[in-house]
Structure 1
Amino acid sequence: MTLDVLERARAALEDDFLRAAVRFTADRLRTKKQAATASLGRWEDWRDRGQQIRAHTVAHLDYYLGQFADHAAKAGGHVQFAADASEASQMVLDIIRAKQARTVVKSKSMVSEEIGINHLLEAAGVEVVETDLGEYIVQLAKETPSHIIIPAIHKNRAQIKDLFTEAGGEGLTTDTKTLAGFARRKLRQKFLEADVGITGCNFGIAESGSVVLFTNEGNADMVVNLPKTHIVLMGMERLVPTFADLEVMANLLPRAATGQNITTYLSMITGTRRPADHDGARELHIIVLDNGRSRQLSDPHMKAVLNCIRCGACLNVCPVYRQIGGHAYGSVYPGPIGAVLSPVLNEGEAYADLPYASSLCGACSEACPVKIPLHDMLVYLRQRNVERGWTKPSERMAFKGFGMTFAKAGRYRLAMKAARIGQGPLVRNGHIEAKIGPLKGWTRGRNAPKLAAVPFRDLWRSLQRDLQSVPSKPGGNGDE
């Protein structure tokens, strides 16, 4: 197995701006989250409730999907179920062709990235415009998002100015208001011209068939209300049973994602425009995507990954993500959630290397607002790779030798004695710097500690002998 993530990570580590930008933003989001959760109070209770809601929904997903589809249809929506990315993309293309649409506006949607809908539509001659500012920036750069919540985390204002100038901006500066003003003018015209709007779905409410969107820029409302046709791309797990459950998610998601008490816009769409309505789409199409999700329902180790609410909190605390950014993962979903989700949504070895892009520190699990045990899942996926033979022969031989050595105390002591002697030529200034053999993976970025001159086991035995030789106090019990 070729661990391509290592090559991408090395390239990212050489980009000083990327590393500084990711660290700055991740730290800022984490600090804001701490303040927002503290102000809410009883954060762990909220997390427990969020976990319960998501686990219950996933455990009864077939029932809630049926309920959601029924209510959405009664409200005037058309619900279709797609088995995979190809089928979902074709459904979107069929709707757009039926409407003879030439221009499509989109709000931020990870599912649309997952199925690659932009490329398909552009190949069919349809203009697709991302209207979330961050997504618009990465679209102009012909890149994928680097963060689930902040797609353009890796871009600075000078780079954005150059992209906007190439897109038709004149006399632009790196001033934030100037850049935002250009994007606003450019996108406003696209909203008015668009034939079809495409959004994702933060949550679907089963009891009403409603689609819920959390946004901060208001672009999703424009995408929903101005075009005559609205297409929703929804992962099959993105449901909550009731509006009361949505209240819990409305407190968890913005605080975990961006450190806000509530998002600027929380929009709920139930069906199509009614006669008395002043806005809203005349046609609503909801495409519910499986694409590997249902396979996790029968796997007790991975089922909880479907609880994810796509907040990105795990990215903001991950020591690996903060060093290499999102593109190093080579997947639509970066960070710890991407290292778990991508291998299970995609069969085969394509993303089997991602579970190794982790220190297994557990910070991601502690940050997750719905308590997904991401670090346990990463260990399980590594184990699965071994069982399926998706590891290098050299790695398998190394671990076999490791197991044999540690199986017997005598072998272990002999091996450590040999290593203590053998390390001599490699030690400089009290540590190992040599970039050779299996050492180079560690010493490329840091020094390796040398083995202690006296093993801890010997020190422990010496300490026990010293303690036994100390006489007890007269009349004491030896414990004083």
Structure 2
Amino acid sequence: MSHPKPQPSFKARAGAALADPTLKLAIDRTTGTAERKRAAAVAAFPEFDAARARGKAIKDHVIAHLDHYLETFERNAIASGAKVHWAADDAEARAIVTRICLDAKARLVTRAKSMLGEEIGLPHALADAGIERVETDLAEHIIQLAGEAPSHIIWPAMHRTREQVAELFKAGHHPPPTADDPATMVQSARRELRAKFLGADIGISGANFLVADTGATCTVTNEGNAELTTTPPRIHIVTAGIEKLVPSTAHAFALLRLLVRSATGGELTQYTTFHCGPKRPGDADGPEEMHIVLVDNGRSRMLGDEFREMLRCIRCGACMNHCVVYRQIGGHAYGGTYPGPMGAVLTPVLDGLAGSRDLPHACTMNGRCAEVCPVGIPIPTLLRAWRVRSWREGLEPGVMRAGIGIWAMLARRPALYRLATRLALPVLRLFGRRGWIGSLPLAGGWTAHRDLPHPPGRSFMDQYRDQQAKKGAGQ
């Protein structure tokens, strides 16, 4: 299978992102709106905390009994007429999907947005098999025209401005749109994709939930493209991670109340569809065959380690929208399938810690991701666990290990630490101007794109002693 060219380092990607003012504008437009809408949706839903506790309990229960619910789902999905396939890793998942497509002699495949498909490398696999792939989600259509990967799990093209999208549509649509206002461009995309929907041999989707007691899969969209992807073709293929299971439809709806509010700030999406097997006698439409590919790809391994709680994730993207790092550098800088805080936890699982150790360090530990997570995943705790593992495995650069060693030596000697602090303060003041530090030796990664606050004239410990003395005098 062909793969993309090797990427620059995380620091190089982040540096390029920080230097791109257009990217910052695009990120601010989308994440700022998402943050405000979520806050309004939560404020209008007094039961949100109770719903979040229930959602967490549902996911924890399924994770604890995953084997039972996988067997139940498989049994009921087969009873509905679907064919269930098991994939231990991404390579096996790709092979299963491409084999189904080749056996069906498929020439054209439409695909609804699915991060699991991106995770297993499905776009490249279909291309290698000589199968035309058409992304039907509007944002995925945009990035397919641009030849890019998604930069966000909910808004894959959020790094693109409207003006940039207009240029892509002018070059990629035949005929091109007559104007660059949103309504005209959406109409152009609809016209471009309509024939593909109706001419596809196979439709491929992901699944937001897998319902164990019915064997149904659930998709959640706002455009209706998933329904047009899964209904007209004669074969429907679902790719889903094994953690997407819920015990029943009622449990799926309990999580939908959290998913939609956290992702887009709405109460319910425009289209929430449950697919239960292929077309039956008497049905007006639907696929003749339905295949469900259940993908492990490291998830079973997570069951037994400190990253187990990450299996609760319902892929809402709230952690990204509230992350101060993501909102500066966007999704592509993370380099993996999943960006942002959740990606910083998942990418080392999928790609190995050695090649992604920078991601757990790309976090200020401010805890906003954990505050907004609809199922209570302690993401900072999990990122700290990766940092600990990276240190124990000797993956940290020698300069960092030496620097932390010096700091530890000072921290264990309070008198020496206070002396070093007193000496550092006047030195730092030399680099200050108008209350800020614009450049500093050995801190170019920070000062290249932002100023640092000018330090106060006295150390924290000196200020603390004064404060305590005043309190004592007041008594």
**Normalised-by-shorter TM-score class:** over 0.9
CA distance in structure 1 between the partners assigned to 2:435 and 2:191 by the alignment: 61
Change (3 A) 1:440 1:173: same
Q: Does 1:368 align with 2:394?
A: no
Change (3 A) 1:452 1:151: closer
Give the corresponding residue for 1:475.
Answer: none
Give the corresponding residue for 2:214.
Answer: 208
Instruction: Encode CA deviations 1:323-355: one digit per residue, 9 max, x unaligned.
Output: 111111111111111111111222242222111
Letter in 2 for 1:455: S
Instruction: Encode CA deviations 1:404-429: one digit per residue, 9 max, x unaligned.
Output: 10101122123223324544654555
Give the corresponding residue for 1:273.
Answer: 279
Q: Does 1:395 align with 2:421?
A: no
Q: Does 1:319 align with 2:319?
A: no
Mean CA deviation greater in 70-79 or 441-450: 441-450
Give the corresponding residue for 1:341.
Answer: 346
Give the corresponding residue for 1:236.
Answer: 242
CA distance in structure 2 between the partners assigned to 1:314 and 1:369 by the alignment: 10
Q: Does 1:180 align with 2:177?
A: no
Please list, as runs of the form range in 1=range in 2, the aligned pairs for 1:459-470 lying within 5 A after superposition.
459-461=463-465
Percent of paired sites with the same residue: 43
On the 8 A contact 1:435/1:444 being kept in 2, the answer is: no
Q: Which runs of 5 or more residues in structure 2 are unaligned?
A: 1-6
Aligned counterpart for 2:233 among listed residues 223, 227, 238: 227
Q: Which runs of 5 or more residues in structure 1 are unaligned?
A: 471-477
Please list, as runs of the form range in 1=range in 2, the aligned pairs for 1:117-196 lying within 5 A after superposition.
117-167=122-172, 168-170=174-176, 172-196=178-202
SS for the counterpart of 2:85 is: strand
Instruction: Encode CA deviations 1:58-79: one digit per residue, 9 max, x unaligned.
Output: 1111111111011101111111
Instruction: Encode CA deviations 1:237-296: one digit per residue, 9 max, x unaligned.
Output: 001001111120121111111011101011001111110111111111100111111111
Change (3 A) 1:464 1:265: closer
Change (3 A) 1:138 1:425: same
SS for the counterpart of 1:397 is: helix
Letter in 2 for 1:60: H
Q: CA deviation at 1:161?
A: 2.3
Give the corresponding residue for 1:93.
Answer: 98
Letter in 2 for 1:347: G
Instruction: Encode CA deviations 1:367-398: one digit per residue, 9 max, x unaligned.
Output: 11111111111111111111111111000000
CA distance in structure 2 between the partners assigned to 1:464 and 1:147 by the alignment: 48
Normalising by structure 2, what TM-score? 0.94
On the 8 A contact 2:177/2:185 being kept in 1, the answer is: no
Change (3 A) 1:451 1:140: closer
SS for the counterpart of 1:40 is: coil
CA distance in structure 2 between the partners assigned to 1:15 and 1:6 by the alignment: 14
Instruction: Encode CA deviations 1:4-52: one digit per residue, 9 max, x unaligned.
Output: 2221111111221211121121111121112222223221111100111
CA distance in structure 1 between the partners assigned to 2:366 and 2:113 by the alignment: 30
SS for the counterpart of 1:351 is: coil
Normalising by structure 1, what TM-score? 0.93
Q: How many residues align?
A: 468
Letter in 1 for 2:450: R
Change (3 A) 1:452 1:408: same
Change (3 A) 1:132 1:394: same
SS for the counterpart of 2:240 is: strand
Please list, as runs of the form range in 1=range in 2, the aligned pairs for 1:53-64 lying within 5 A after superposition.
53-64=58-69
